[in-house]
Structure 1
Amino acid sequence: MNNNFSFIILTFNEEIHLPRLLESIQKLNAKIFILDSGSTDKTLEIAKVYGAEVKQNLFENHPKQWDYALKNFNVTTPWTIGLDADQMVTPALLDRLEKFNDRDFEGVNGVYFNRKNFFQGHWIRFGTYYPFYLLKMFRTGVGYSDLNENMDHRFIVRGKTVIWKKGWILEENLKENDIDFWKAKHERYSDLVAQEEIERMQKLRLQHLKPNLWGSPDEKRAWLKQLWWKLPLGIRPYLYFGYRMFFKLGIFEGTTGIKFHYLQGLWFRKLVDKKIKALQRINRSS
């Protein structure tokens, strides 16, 4: 059994994704913990085949689900790797993990993996989506889930982190080949994001990370989000979409990629702003 790290994976009806992920990490011989939120397909059967330890927890949002996972699994290895079921480890990343030794990372508390995101079979290379560094590996007991947001989730560690620019995780939600599924999912997400932003306006939520344009990948994103929250509702989706398409070269993405940038960068953001305005009207009239 791997003495350096263990995996934690979140699942919900992931029979289409889970075998792909578990196959990609099988050679590492690492302990696998799966937190499921009520799957009704073959997810749990697949987890059993691969020898994973499974717990169940009612899903509220991703940050809280990760918080529960980190606090309720007995991870005994010095490092933890947290992955979503629609991700997988590439051979290049597998090679780095096979060679990983805790002794070589003394004084380091976290490792950023580089992500390649796919939408309907197309690698999203432009529009801020690559390179994209995610803190996925951290010292057990040191890394924790950022509960400051309703929808986006990230792990936070204090202290030194390193970035692996080569060695990737691939992320592709095959369910999103059905555009109706994508829109229904983001309808739900828009409710969470709108409520979160209202709470920020009311000073009920504060940044846990120090925003820093020149800091870690997460500190940089915190800085950009701080700027985003200051932009005028209704206008900012168009500014953001234009930034992704022209300044970040999304226009060269091809038909499928441009569709993704439109949906994720404009349609979804407009929906969020519309719901924020509706919540503001309700709050003013109450």
Structure 2
Amino acid sequence: MLDLTVIILTKNEEANIKKCIDSFNGIVKRFVIVDSYSTDRTKEICEELDLDFYERKFDNHASQFNWALENTNINTEWVMRMDADEELTPELSLEIENRLKLLPSNINGIILKRRVYFMGKWIKRGGVYPQCLLRIFRNRTAVCEQKVMDEHIILLSGESMTFKSDLIDNNTKDLDWWTNKHNWYSNKEVEEYYNTQKLMTQQQEVKPSLFRGQAERKRWIKNFLYYKIPLFQRPKWYFFYRYIIRLGFLDGKEGLVFHFLQGYWYRFLVDSKIYESQQLGKIVKTDGDLK
């Protein structure tokens, strides 16, 4: 068993939490669940699985995760962040088990490649795969950057490396839930658009850079290229880029739905809320968790 604690943030995840835990195949010493007062069977399932279960009022993902780091008595050498709708492939579970304890002392972070499933299909194109995310780190060497939206774990010291095998994002909830979640996300995106500089600290942020890792490159493109394109034009060009140039049309009907909703509809919704706030002075509220 690895000297590893896995932190999972939950809210009404009865459809996903067990398959997430089961995918680790018993290699983990401890699971820490930080729940935002679920109203389904999430708590009951976690108790049945004998997981360490905490409840905390949700403000944002970054604060929730950093609270878990500081307040749940984590004493393992390694810590991992997982979402409840994610799971390890058998290959990744084996790779973590075999490689984590053999890493040199200068390696403090592990980047994992995430593949996204939508309506049961792996979305391979449109620039969606792989999503490279720092998810495993030595205890006390990393934090989650304090952002309302699109937050990343950042290393405070040491180097990182990338494992070969994949992490899976495969939420089993329906399209009603998905669109409701992205409407909720859009409010956060608007707040982030206006308040990025205020919400980030110099020591704990992913620095935008065109020539570093994937997270830094995406942050640079978003801040210095995407948001320079006029309102309502950028969703159109972003969808064209994903669906045509990055071959998203090869992902089939599920890919059409995903790339259109996530690459155009969601981005158009964000622009519409920005426009509403500019024209009518509407203040977008982001308090609270996803209802």
Same fold at TM > 0.5: yes
The answer for the alignment partner of 1:186 in structure 2 is 182
Q: Please tell me whether the aligned partners of residues 63 and 146 of structure 1 are also in contact (alpha carbons under 8 angstroms).
A: yes
Q: CA deviation at 1:25?
A: 1.1
Residue of structure 1 aligned with 2:214, choices 217, 236, 243: 217
- In 2: Cα distance, 1:171 partner to 1:17 partner: 10
List aligned pairs for 1:21-32, cutoff 5 A. 21-32=20-31
- In 2: Cα distance, 1:276 partner to 1:198 partner: 9
One-letter code of the match for 1:220?
A: R
- In 2: Cα distance, 1:8 partner to 1:188 partner: 23
Q: CA deviation at 1:230?
A: 2.1
One-letter code of the match for 1:31?
A: R
Q: Please tell me whether the aligned partners of residues 198 and 276 of structure 1 are also in contact (alpha carbons under 8 angstroms).
A: no
> What percentage of aligned pairs have identical amino acids?
35
Q: Please tell me whether the aligned partners of residues 6 and 28 of structure 2 are also in contact (alpha carbons under 8 angstroms).
A: no
Q: Does 1:119 align with 2:118?
A: yes
- In 1: Cα distance, 2:7 partner to 2:166 partner: 18
Per-residue deviation, residues 28-52 of structure 1 (Å, max 9, x unmatched): 0421111000112211122122221
- In 2: Cα distance, 1:224 partner to 1:140 partner: 31
The answer for the alignment partner of 1:237 in structure 2 is 235
Per-residue deviation, residues 44-81 of structure 1 (Å, max 9, x unmatched): 12212222111111112222222222222211111101
Per-residue deviation, residues 197-239 of structure 1 (Å, max 9, x unmatched): 1224xx5345822222221222112212222222221111111
The answer for the alignment partner of 2:6 in structure 1 is 7
- In 2: Cα distance, 1:284 partner to 1:87 partner: 35
Q: Please tell me whether the aligned partners of residues 146 and 199 of structure 2 are also in contact (alpha carbons under 8 angstroms).
A: no
Structure 1 residues 124 and 181: alpha-carbon distance in aligned structure 2, compared to 1, 3 A threshold: same
Structure 1 unmatched ranges of 5 or more: none
- In 2: Cα distance, 1:48 partner to 1:83 partner: 18
The answer for the alignment partner of 1:199 in structure 2 is 195
Q: Which moved more, 1:218-227 or 1:268-277?
A: 218-227
Structure 1 residues 284 and 114: alpha-carbon distance in aligned structure 2, compared to 1, 3 A threshold: closer
Structure 2 unmatched ranges of 5 or more: 284-291
List aligned pairs for 1:97-108, cutoff 5 A. 97-108=96-107
What do you get for the CA RMSD once the two structures are aligned?
1.8
- In 1: Cα distance, 2:198 partner to 2:151 partner: 18
- In 1: Cα distance, 2:15 partner to 2:100 partner: 32
Q: CA deviation at 1:2?
A: 2.9
The answer for the alignment partner of 1:139 in structure 2 is 138
Q: Please tell me whether the aligned partners of residues 238 and 264 of structure 2 are also in contact (alpha carbons under 8 angstroms).
A: yes
Q: Tell me the SS of whatever aligns to 1:126.
A: coil
Per-residue deviation, residues 80-136 of structure 1 (Å, max 9, x unmatched): 011000000110001111113445231012111111100010100001111221111
Q: Tell me the SS of whatever aligns to 1:144.
A: strand
- In 2: Cα distance, 1:267 partner to 1:180 partner: 14
- In 1: Cα distance, 2:261 partner to 2:282 partner: 30
List aligned pairs for 1:66-105, cutoff 5 A. 66-105=65-104
Find runs of 4+ consecutive structure 1 residues off by over 6 angstroms.
none
Q: Please tell me whether the aligned partners of residues 2 and 31 of structure 1 are also in contact (alpha carbons under 8 angstroms).
A: no
List aligned pairs for 1:155-170, cutoff 5 A. 155-158=153-156, 159-164=158-163, 166-170=164-168
Calculate the TM-score normalised by the size of structure 2: 0.90
